[in-house]
Chain A
């Protein structure tokens, strides 16, 4: 498991109080009990704080679109981490 996936999974487990939660790329908000708008924004805040990255409003909302899943979320995080590392 790559580092960013593992760190994001830990945040998911803390936030949704589920120590057995395993992140799969195909997962969506429907697959995790309690992943509503409030949980979504708490997730974003925790990820920003833990990984030192920032999301724009349009990116945050895009992650709730039906076509999006954990895989696209992780890809966005990785692209932001690459951007941060390049600076």
Chain B
């Protein structure tokens, strides 16, 4: 269900009115559970998907109970790893054709939001294992995973932040300014998603579709420029618009969701870009992949610290790329960002060794350097986004046609 569509808005407004009219937290909890279920019914296409979802939710809850107990760590790691393998299978990752019969991958399961559910589950497993205080209940966990605000495309909220809301169930505090700001955010989101993103998508499809037509070099380059810039514009308005809508909706229910965007196309390097784009995904990967593995390596092999920092930065961004989709184009997207982030860190280390603290500060504050860095990063990101929407071969063919003309 598209959050900028009329059916979603009607669904949301009716749900909000009923939710606000309920005074007891327990009634609000049951009502919100019913709303989440109703939303799921609209998204889950067949019984195979329902069965997989139920198995994922209850199975992962079992692993969390295990993680809380004093069982050997390998048992928890192995159980969590089984869910990662299950996720790869459900999403039909292309490399699996080399490992399992193709007929096994020809299943009918389609689970929207499973990538987000996996990361939410894994963060809870790690936190529980590290004895972090999480008040785990099956009812709370199911609704954390299936909350209609964040089901389709995040943001990835941490369990404790959701749990505070789930326990108190206080709707928006009635402050008129806060309420208006939430509605303003929803309307901004609708404008971004329903108008600006649609216009950019139209331009992108027009330009991409016309690249193979017979035309002058000038016309081809013009189309390519539109193809090159329109998709990043579409993606930003679509995703940040979606985020605006769900953050505004959640706020009216009393749930504060984390921000996911901070002017990403003003980033001065690839690492900075990921601190501004899909922020909750980046922080998840930073905390539970990069930091955990880097700490593990450095505590055991101190002399490997520098190399491990670069290698794990590369791996973290590669995982981010692959997480976005199951086909080869996302591997290329991840590889590009992995290389970009690693290069950023190497350059940063070089600057630090040459300039020291005071020189580094002057360098970072120089407006000319900042401008060049921002333009370079933006164009790097645009190149990487060429590989985001389409089949890898199709993107390569499009690039080939332009390269051939320029020879």
Chain A positions within 8 Å of B, measured between CB atoms, are 16-18, 33-34, 36-38, 40-42, 44-45, 56-61, 64
Neighbouring B residues of A64 by C-beta, 8 Å: 283, 286
Q: Is the CB of B357 within 8 A of A58?
A: no
Are A57's CB and B127's CB within 8 A? yes
Interface-forming stretch among B83-91, B240-248, B294-302? B294-302
B290 — which chain A residues lie within 8 A by C-beta?
37, 41
Residue in A18, A34, A44, A59 whose Cβ sees the most chain B Cβ within 10 Å: A34
B158 and A41 contacting across the interface, CB-CB below 8 Å: no
Q: Is B295's CB under 8 angstroms from A45's CB?
A: yes
For B360, the chain A residues whose CB sits under 8 A away are 33-34
Given contacts A41-B294, A56-B130, 15 further A-B contacts (CB under 8 A): A34-B357, A36-B271, A37-B290, A38-B345, A41-B295, A41-B298, A45-B298, A56-B127, A56-B131, A56-B132, A57-B291, A58-B126, A58-B127, A58-B158, A61-B287
**Quick one: given A41-B291, A57-B292, A61-B283, are A16 and B357 in contact (CB under 8 Å)?**
yes
Name the distance in Å between B311's Cβ and chain A's nearest Cβ.
12
Give chain A residues whose Cβ lies under 8 Å from the Cβ of B287: 57-58, 60-61
Contact between A57 and B288, CB atoms less than 8 A apart: yes
Query: B283 contacts which chain A residues (CB < 8 A)?
Result: 61, 64
Q: Which residues of B lie under 8 Å from residue A36 when comparing CB positions? A: 271, 348
Report the minimum CB–CB distance from A36 to chain B (whole Å): 7
Q: Distance (Å) between the CB of B398 and the closest chain A CB?
A: 35
From A33, A37, A40, A42, B305 is in contact (CB under 8 Å) with A42
Contacts of B357 in A (CB 8 A): 16-18, 33-34
Q: In the complex, what residue of chain B is closest to A44 when comparing beta carbons?
A: B295
Closest to A36 in B: B271
Which residues does chain A contribute within 8 Å of B294, judged by CB atoms? 38, 41
Query: In the complex, A74→B228 CA distance in Å?
Result: 47
Give complex CA distance A17, B353 in Å: 10
Q: Which residues of B contact A37 (CB under 8 A)?
A: 271, 286, 290-291
- Min CB distance B201 to A, Å, is 33
**Chain B contacts for A38, CB-based, 8 A:** 294, 309, 313, 345
